[in-house]
Amino acid sequence: MTTTESPLLRPLRIRGLELPNRIVMSPMTRTFSPGGVPTEDVAQYYRRRAEGGTGLIVTEGVGIDHPSAIDHPDVPNLHDPAAREAWRRVVGQVHEAGGKIAPQLWHVGPLFGAMRTVEDVTPMRPSGVWGEPGVTSYPQEYVERAVVPTAAMTESDIADVIAAYADAARTSAEIGFDAIAIHGGHGYLLDSFLWASTNLRDDAWGGDMLRRTAFPAAVVRAIREAIGDDLPIIYRFSQHKQQDFSARTAETPEELGIVLGALVDAGVDVLDASSRRFDAPAFDGSDLSLAGWAKKTTGAIAMGVGCVGLGKSLRDGRLAGPTVESVDNIADLEQRLATGEFDLAAIGRLHLADPRIAETLRERRPLPEFDRRIHETVLT
């Protein structure tokens, strides 16, 4: 395709949000916010991506106001007064550069303690279990600690977490963010209600697949009520879990449609389909990707993510070594966008390697190589 024909460069309107192109910066945890407060370096880090032409920036995960939401002191939050003022500066810098930005609201749920050990805090788990261990990148020492059962979430716990999500979304809107993103994948709290291995409840919050969707749908409804009708809601979901990369939420497209349909009915606008490769078939018998099935089963806007411009997934890349060579799979990405399989392309590691990756794609320049030793250790 020529530059002018690239579907990556087409504008898109989502509720009150006007995007100049389909390129999204995928959320990536950075831990550069001491005490939960983003620094000026963080503001400039996001500004550089906006200056590079990225259509929408989704921030690193941002902790909601709950004791077990986040287990690292340098992950940003939205509830401390200093953090709120810092995010105002971040949003201001991005807007000044002509960009759009959304915070990714995060509660780690059963995976509390994976980033560091924290004493005297009970992880939020639907049924008190971590999940069946499988293919994971976590060290064995952590897994052995994590699989010890804890208390199941009470009705009070559930109500508190829903309220914390709504408060964080309300604050985000007041600060000036352009959309709200929710981390609902990878085995974290919202995803743990969907996964049969972690949700063993037999009350209104558990049971069959639709009943297991009740909690994340309640969070989405609370957020929609808190922010009104103008701001879009982006929801990241996944099949795989960090407890077990081979695990699946849905075994069939029909099951996937039950989950995602309930979330869309609750107020989700964009389904962020987190998979290890954006082009990987999601179910046997079809070449359609996870993002493609999300759109097909719900009709909602869908976003593909995973190995855009790179040859190895995040997990496989870590196992193979510090560098991941670029792979020019952009033509395939463009083709899927052109045919309407999905609507947005989320790019993670290449946004770390090249702050102007949107410009690089627009001008058809060579793709950068990702080097974890450089690109994960500093804010370039």
Q: Which residues are part of the catalytic machinery?
A: 188
Kindly report the number of other CB atoms within 10 A of residue 147's CB atom. 13
Cβ–Cβ under 8 Å, residues 56 and 25: yes
Tokens linked to 174: 């007041």
Rounded to the nearest angstrom, the gap between the alpha carbon of residue 254 and the centroid of all alpha carbons in its chain is: 23
Helix, strand or coil for residue 240? coil
8-state DSSP, 241: B
Question: Is the separation of the CB atoms in 342 and 335 below 8 Å?
Answer: no
Q: Helix (H, G, I), strand (E, B), or coil: what is residue 163? A: helix
Helix (H) or strand (E) segment spanning residue 212: helix 209-212
Q: β-strands 17-19, 12-14: how paired?
A: antiparallel
CA 272 to CA 276: how far, in whole Å?
13
Nearest to 12 by CA among 257, 237, 302, 336: 302
Percent of residues in the chain assigned helix, strand, coil, to nearest 5: 40, 15, 45
Is the sign of the CA dihedral 58, 62, 68, 71 positive or negative? positive
